[in-house]
Copies of this chain bind each other. A is one copy, B any other.
């Protein structure tokens, strides 16, 4: 039984009927890779699933229960990583993470410390985010993602701005997440280096609904 099921999703943006009757299921331990050319609607799909954009119609089932994408309970099991890293420029990386994770009620200093180490972010975690490079910010955001221990990850181009080591780390973290029974939906243009059994793919074509590929 799929943990997450999306049925009959229609979304308009402005005049455009961006997603037309999209259906998708993701089970525990599965990653759904969302591909599609620029403007196909990947970002739109993820933001609708977070409840940040309104859908024209959508039937969402999460853990066997029908729910709205704005339900608090559903949000508690979900983490969203957008195009831009959600960090305050005036705070340090550490302070940012502390706030973000406290807000979700999962702040644990040691765990975050270990994750910073692993993502090579400890070095600059005490500097204000304002003075970090694009890739460094991205790494902090990834620490926040993993540390929030959500079951469902919604990632929008998670490898942007990352160097090759960083890109490898992302796939590693993703694999581990799936092994632990997590779910992920990842919009990306690069191919993900994940066990094929755990990987599904959804190809969006501009405005014409979605084709299921694998």
A→B interface (CB under 8 Å): 13-14, 35-40, 43, 83, 124, 131-136, 138-139, 157, 160-167, 189
Add 5 more A-B contacts to A37-B165, A38-B135, A38-B162 (CB < 8 A).
A13-B131, A39-B133, A39-B136, A43-B134, A164-B189
CB-defined contacts of A135 to chain B, threshold 8 Å? 37-39
Residue of B nearest to A43 (CB): B133
Oligomeric state, in copies: 2
In the assembled complex, 5 residue pairs joining A and B whose CB atoms fall closer than 8 Å, in A order, are A38-B139, A39-B124, A39-B132, A40-B133, A43-B133
CB-defined contacts of A136 to chain B, threshold 8 Å? 38-39
CB-defined contacts of A14 to chain B, threshold 8 Å? 131
CB-defined contacts of A131 to chain B, threshold 8 Å? 13-14
| Complex alpha-carbon distance, A14 and B40, angstroms | 41
| Complex alpha-carbon distance, A135 and B157, angstroms | 11
CB-defined contacts of A165 to chain B, threshold 8 Å? 37
Residue contact B161 to A157, C-beta cutoff 8 Å: yes
| Complex alpha-carbon distance, A35 and B83, angstroms | 22
Distance in Å from the Cβ of A70 to the closest Cβ of chain B? 23
Distance in Å from the Cβ of A128 to the closest Cβ of chain B? 9
Q: A160-B160, A161-B157 are in contact. Are A133 and B166 (CB under 8 A)?
A: no
Distance in Å from the Cβ of A191 to the closest Cβ of chain B? 9
Residue of B nearest to A137 (CB): B38
Residue of B nearest to A165 (CB): B37
Distance in Å from the Cβ of A137 to the closest Cβ of chain B? 9
Residue contact A37 to B189, C-beta cutoff 8 Å: no
Residue contact A160 to B161, C-beta cutoff 8 Å: yes
Distance in Å from the Cβ of A157 to the closest Cβ of chain B? 7
From B133, B138, B139, B189, A163 is in contact (CB under 8 Å) with B189
Distance in Å from the Cβ of A40 to the closest Cβ of chain B? 8
| Complex alpha-carbon distance, A134 and B187, angstroms | 12
Residue of B nearest to A121 (CB): B38
Residue contact B124 to A166, C-beta cutoff 8 Å: no
| Complex alpha-carbon distance, A114 and B186, angstroms | 34
